[in-house]
Structure 1
Amino acid sequence: MPQRMRLSAITLDCPDPLALAAFYRQATALEPHPKSDVDFAGLNREDGLFIGFQRVDRYRAPSWPGQSVPQQLHLCFEVEGDLEEAEARLLELGAGRLNHQPHAPRALILTDPAGHPFCITKG
């Protein structure tokens, strides 16, 4: 039987790690990693999951749903309460809303300030 693995970290490429970490911190209330800096920033979840943000020179945002620049990964978040209220809050924080919404109204697809697509669903 294969050994079990537990996901411990997810890292996103971006042009500004501190700014993207600040967006996700406001969106999720996760704690900032104490060694975050201009080249690599992170957030810690209580169960040990780490979300990292690493600076990439000449970063190009994904073009989802098109594939001229593939999305490379897709984060999904469950939200408590009203989905539209959560969307409005995230848009105020700097998220973008895509026109292509294949799973609305049960899931909405937004982009973070660096252009990574992510979903919000009702928890």
Structure 2
Amino acid sequence: MIGRLFSLVVDCPDPSALAAFYQDLLTLSRVEDTPEYVVLRNAAGTETVTFQRVADFRPPRWPDPERPAQMHLDVLVEDLDVAEPQALALGATLLEGSDKPIGYRVYADPVGHPFCLVTAEGVTPEA
């Protein structure tokens, strides 16, 4: 095992509004709220959904391949420098422009879907 699921991240035009919908639908609590993203989590702290603002958002039109879904996984790992070569060996690609900030790195899966490896230092404590 390289890591464990940390968060499902949903692209959207208005993180606060979409988070409010899912907060009620899934009985989650708002634990972080900024203009750029909102984090919801269950009471046990085991399920997290993050809503992030995307400029020029175009909603998906399922099952239209020209307008696919815009979500990505955050995978919690102990150490980015250990997890990165393991993910690359599985077929991941470090995305162009990923500047390797402390706490997370952005990759593409073998067919191009983005995902992030994150560490505890990249995760903001609950508000």
Q: Compute the TM-score of the two structures, normalised by the length of structure 2.
A: 0.50
* Equivalent residues in 2 for 1:85-100, closer than 5 Å: none
* Aligned position for 1:56: 54
Q: Partners in 1 of 2:70 and 2:50 — Cα distance?
A: 15
Q: Compute the TM-score of the two structures, normalised by the length of structure 1.
A: 0.52
Note the C-alpha offset of 1:37: 1.8
Note the C-alpha offset of 1:70: 1.1
* Aligned position for 2:37: 40
* Aligned position for 2:90: none
Q: Partners in 1 of 2:12 and 2:70 — Cα distance?
A: 12
* Residue from 8, 13, 16 that aligns with 1:10: 8
Note the C-alpha offset of 1:73: 4.8
Counting aligned pairs with the same residue, the percent is 37
Corresponding position: 1:26 with 2:24 = yes
Note the C-alpha offset of 1:4: 4.9
Is the contact made by 2:9 and 2:71 (CA closer than 8 Å) also made in structure 1?
A: no
Gaps spanning 5+ residues in structure 2: where? 73-127
Gaps spanning 5+ residues in structure 1: where? 75-123
Change (3 A) 1:31 1:54: same
Letter aligned with residue 44 of structure 1: R
